[in-house]
C-alpha cells in the first residue's frame, strides 16, 4: 500500500509539473484556454494507451499502473482548472467560447481515450 502511494505521488508530481509547463507555454490569453485543452486531451489519450496496455497484459495491479495511469495521468490532467475556466466564461457572458471549449474538451477527451485504447491493442 505505501509503495503504491509513493508511486502515485511520484507520478502525480511529474504529471503536474509537465502540465504546469505546457499550460504556461500554450495558454496565451486567447478565447479558449489552449493549454488546458491540450493537456486534458493528451492526458486522456495517454490514459487510454496506458489502460489498454495494462488491461491487455493483466497488469492493473502492477506498480507501473500506479505510477503512470493513476499518478502521472491523474496529475497531468486537470478537471478543476477546466471547471474554473468554464465558470469564468459563463460569468463573463462568453457563451460561444464556453460552448466550444466545453463540448470540444469533452468530445475530444472521449475520442482520445478510445484512440489510446485502440492503439494500445496493437502492441
Residues in the chain: 123
* Separation of alpha carbons 33 and 46, rounded Å: 20
pTM for the full predicted model:
0.92
How confident is the model at residue 61, as a pLDDT?
86
Interior/surface letters 39-78, b for 16+ CB within 10 angstroms, e for the rest: bbbbbbbbbbbbbbbbeeeeeeeeeebbbbbbbbbbbbbb
pLDDT tier at 29, thresholds 50, 70, 90: confident
43 grid coordinates: 492526458
How confident is the model at residue 100, as a pLDDT?
97
Tens of pLDDT, residue by residue over 49-103, are 999 999 999 998 899 999 999 999 999 999 999 999 999 999 999 999 999 999 9
How confident is the model at residue 15, as a pLDDT?
97
Amino acid at each position: 500500500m505505501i509503495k503504491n502511494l509513493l508511486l502515485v505521488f511520484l507520478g502525480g508530481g511529474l504529471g503536474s509539473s509537465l502540465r504546469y509547463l505546457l499550460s504556461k507555454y500554450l495558454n496565451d490569453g486567447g478565447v479558449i484556454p489552449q493549454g488546458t485543452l491540450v493537456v486534458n486531451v493528451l492526458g486522456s489519450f495517454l490514459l487510454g494507451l496506458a489502460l489498454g496496455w495494462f488491461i491487455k497484459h493483466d497488469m492493473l495491479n502492477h506498480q507501473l499502473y500506479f505510477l503512470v495511469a493513476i499518478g502521472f495521468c491523474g496529475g497531468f490532467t486537470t478537471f478543476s482548472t477546466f471547471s474554473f475556466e468554464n465558470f469564468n466564461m459563463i460569468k463573463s457572458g462568453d457563451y460561444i467560447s464556453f460552448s466550444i471549449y466545453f463540448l470540444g474538451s469533452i468530445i475530444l477527451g472521449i475520442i482520445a481515450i478510445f484512440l489510446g485504447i485502440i492503439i494500445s491493442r496493437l502492441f
